[in-house]
Structure 1
Amino acid sequence: MNNLAPPAGKIILTYEDYLDLPDDGNRYEILEGVLHVTPSPTTRHQRISRNLQRIVDDHVLRHDLGEVFYAPLDVLFSRISIAQPDLIFISHERAAIITDKNIAGAPDLVVEILSPTTAKRDKVTKAHVYALYGVKYYWLVDPDSTTVEEYRLEGEGYVPVNRVAGNAPFTPEIFPGLVVDLGKVWA
C-alpha cells in the first residue's frame, strides 16, 4: 500500500480538482491525492533556480540533448499526482511527454530547491512520488547549506550519486562533460 495515500475515508483529489484551484500566487501540487500548498518562492530561491537553469540549459542546448523547463509548469504523473518541480529536463528520447499544457509523464531529471517550508516534502514525499513514477534523476539543491545532492533511480527508490558543497565543482552523472561551478549558482 502507498504510504502517501490519504487515510481511509478522506477525499482523494484529482487533476480535475487541480484545474479548479485558484490562481492566487500560491503553488499547488497534488501528490497521491493529497493537496499541498506552498507560498511563492523567495528572490534568493528564484536567483538560484535561474542560475542553475541557465547553466544546465546551455549545456543541453550545446549538446542537443533535449529541453529544460522551469517552474511553474505542471508535471502530470497521474490523475492524482501533479507536481511543479523547480527545474525539469526531458531528453529527446522522452520528448513525447511534452504537451502544449504540461509534461505528461516522468522527466529524465527533476530538481527541487529546498526552502524551510518545503524541505521535508521535497526530501520525503516528492522523492517517493518521483521514484514511484520513474523520474531517473533527482537533485536536491539546498541554498542554506550550499549543497547539491544528485540521486539516481534504482529499483523503487533513489541512491545517492553525488553530494557537493560550497563552491566545489559539481559534475552530474546525467550530463557527462558538464561541470557546474556552484559559485555561479549561489551568486
Structure 2
Amino acid sequence: MAIPQEKSHLTYAEYLALDEDIRYEVIDGQIYNMSPAPTPKHQAVQRELLTEFNLYFRGKQCSVFGAPIDVCLAEEDDITKIEEWVQPDLVVVCDQNKIREKRIVGTPDLVIEIISKSTAKKDKVVKFNRYQRAGVKEYWIVDPSNETIDVYCLENEGFAHRGTYFKDDRISVHLFEGLSIDLANVFREDAEG
C-alpha cells in the first residue's frame, strides 16, 4: 500500500506498517520515494566502496553498512516519535550503541551518497544540509557518471569542501588514519559485470 496522496506526515512506525517494497525517506518533514532501484553502475560503485571500507574495518570498532538501511538521525528509540530517517548509500558508524536490530539510531560518523540524475539535488542540497545539521563528521558525494567524489568534513558546525577526486586519484579518508582508497578500483571499467 502506497502512502495516501493526502498524507503529508509520516512517522517511522507508520512507515514500517506499510509492509511493501517501496522505500521512503523523510527529511525535514518532506516524504521522498526511493523508487526505482539504482542502476547497475551505481550499484557497482557502491559495492566497490563497501568492499574498501569493509576490508579496512574488519576487526576494528567501526562498522560500514550499505543501502538499504534506515538511519534515524535523532537519538530516539520510540518509533512512534521518529519523524525523520534517511537511507544513505553507505554509512559508517563507530559507536556500536547506535546500531540497533533494524536501524541505525543517531548520527553516523561518515555518510556516502551516490548521486543519479533523479537524486542529485536532494543529495547535494537537502541531505547535505541535513547531514551538516546532524553533525556527520565526513560526507562524500559520489558521481558515477563523471567518476568523481566530492569530500566534505565538518568544521565549526559546517561542512568544508576538502576536494574533488577523480578516477586516477587516491582519497585519504580524513576520519580514519591509514585508510586511503584508490578510485581506479572504485570506478573500474569491469566493475559493472
Same-fold status (TM-score > 0.5): yes
Whether 1:142 and 2:139 are equivalent positions in the alignment is no
Task: Give how far 1:22 is off.
Answer: 4.7
CA contact (8 A) 1:110 1:138 kept: yes
Post-superposition Cα deviations, 1:75-97, rounded to whole Å, max 9, x if no partner, equal: 01232211000011111xx1111
Matches within 5 A, 1:1-187: 11-24=8-21, 26-38=22-34, 39-61=36-58, 64-78=60-74, 79-91=82-94, 94-187=95-188
The percent identity for this pair of structures is 39
Distance 1:145 1:43, change over 3 A: same
Task: Give how far 1:12 is off.
Answer: 3.1
Task: Give how far 1:111 is off.
Answer: 0.5
Query: Per the alignment, in what secondary structure is the counterpart of residue 73 of structure 2?
Result: strand
Gaps in structure 2 of 5+ consecutive residues = 1-6, 75-81, 189-193
TM-score w.r.t. length of structure 2 = 0.84
CA RMSD of superposed structures (Å): 1.6
Post-superposition Cα deviations, 1:28-59, rounded to whole Å, max 9, x if no partner, equal: 11112211013111111111100010011111
Distance in 1 between residues matched to 2:40 and 2:116, nearest whole Å: 12
Gaps in structure 1 of 5+ consecutive residues = 1-9
| Paired residue type of 1:15 | Y
| Paired residue type of 1:186 | F
